[in-house]
Amino acid sequence: MTDFYQTGVITTLHQLGISSLERLESELYGFGKVRPIALVLPALYSEFEGPAMPGIIKELSKVKYLNEIVLALDSASESQFQHVRELMAPIPTEVKIIHNKGKRITEVYETLARNGIEVGAQGKGRSVWMMYGYVLARGRSDVIALHDCDIVTYNRELLARLCYPVANPNLDYVFCKGFYSRISHKMNGRVTRLLVTPLVRSLQKLVGPHDFLAFLDSFRYALSGEFCMTTDLARVNRIPWDWGLEVGTLAEVHRNYSPRRVCQVDIATTYEHKHQILSPDDASKGLMKMAVDICKSVFRTLASEGVVFSDGLFKSLLVTYLRHAEDTIMKYEADATINGLDFDRHEEAKAVETFTRAIAMAAQAYTENPMSTPLIPNWNRVVAAIPDILEMLKMAVEEDNK
């Protein structure tokens, strides 16, 4: 249980008292009639072979308030696609699977490419964007919820709490982000704890008060992969195809809507998923790659809002960040100690060193090419270029799922 303190410029919805899943679900069932809810799931075939996806399917089989489920399947052959269809069959809600490697969806991607719509490489960002497109093409849902498919500790309360603030017409939120404590026998969530928060606070110190930085700092877990939004937002939002997906999405939400209509909700007491390696010497994979992409996304967003990044600012940022991150390590060490959690200070310091290098690399990349953007255009822009694209996408998915 947490306190009820409200932090930052957005609303925080805590988990207070004893929660009642039955009450939440019955209310969501009613809201679903006014604002039908779609759940979109970006998945790899390998996640169906691990422990996460079978558990998620089992939980989703008990959910009655969803209007539709759309799953984007990556890295799967035709036979694996058919196998996934069989695995998803027990879910009572209508399930549609976007087979990213399938003949028809490949042709949809080619149609986009030849019309100058850059949708990036295979990954969560591209899959999420495609699923939004499909939900928009069908036009049957008003709310879109999204969560990862590698959550080992998944239960349906997570989904209910995630959907509730946007699905409830009386609350009037257009975007809701999930948060949770990343605790096992130790503290996880290194990128959020040791990169994003110290980086944002360092930037606040250097560039002064800034709306976007205040907005970003308001999120308790800015990198959580679980969020819920209205379909209107899904239509106008651009999505980054790289690891800047979460930060980039927040930047787009900040750009398009008032923080008053944005909230974060406590969705789980425990959360465990697939961990990434740190990869301190290779910036093309692991947390290092993630850190570089996130930093680039933050720099570009700030630059687009008028912040001037000079060589001196970047140099000061590195030093300021390092000091903030070292102070943060001490805070978390104390927090871990009082809660009896393992805390490897050396590993934490190594992570900070890696992230410092990542900031420097991102700064260099930004300086060399400030205009480079990994954002996939929003669906309004795509439809303006290819008027029939949504219908084509709908036909492709319907044919694949016959």
Q: Which residues bind another protein (CB under 8 A)?
A: 103-104, 107, 110-111, 114-115, 385-389, 391-392, 395-396, 399
Task: Please spell the DSSP secondary structure of 105-136, one letter per residue.
Answer: HHHHHHHHHHTT----SSSHHHHHHHHHHHHH
Task: Between 137 and 291, name the residue whose CB sits nearer to another protein.
Answer: 137
Task: Between 194 and 389, name the residue whose CB sits nearer to another protein.
Answer: 389
Task: Between 211 and 399, name the residue whose CB sits nearer to another protein.
Answer: 399
Angle at 287 (CA atoms; ends 281, 291), nearest 5 degrees: 100
At closest approach, how far in Å is the CB of 195 from another protein? 41
Task: Between 346 and 402, name the residue whose CB sits nearer to another protein.
Answer: 402
At closest approach, how far in Å is the CB of 385 from another protein? 8
The secondary structure of residue 193, as a DSSP letter, is I
At closest approach, how far in Å is the CB of 104 from another protein? 5
Is there a contact between 235 and 350 (Cβ–Cβ < 8 Å)?
no
At closest approach, how far in Å is the CB of 14 from another protein? 44
At closest approach, how far in Å is the CB of 99 from another protein? 12
At closest approach, how far in Å is the CB of 108 from another protein? 9
Half-sphere exposure of residue 191, counting CA atoms within 13 Å on the CB side?
26
CA distance 314 to 365: 12
Q: Which residues neighbour 327 within 8 Å (Cβ) at sequence distance 6 or greater?
A: none
CA distance 64 to 91: 10
Strand pairing class (227-230; 175-180): antiparallel
Task: Between 62 and 103, name the residue whose CB sits nearer to another protein.
Answer: 103
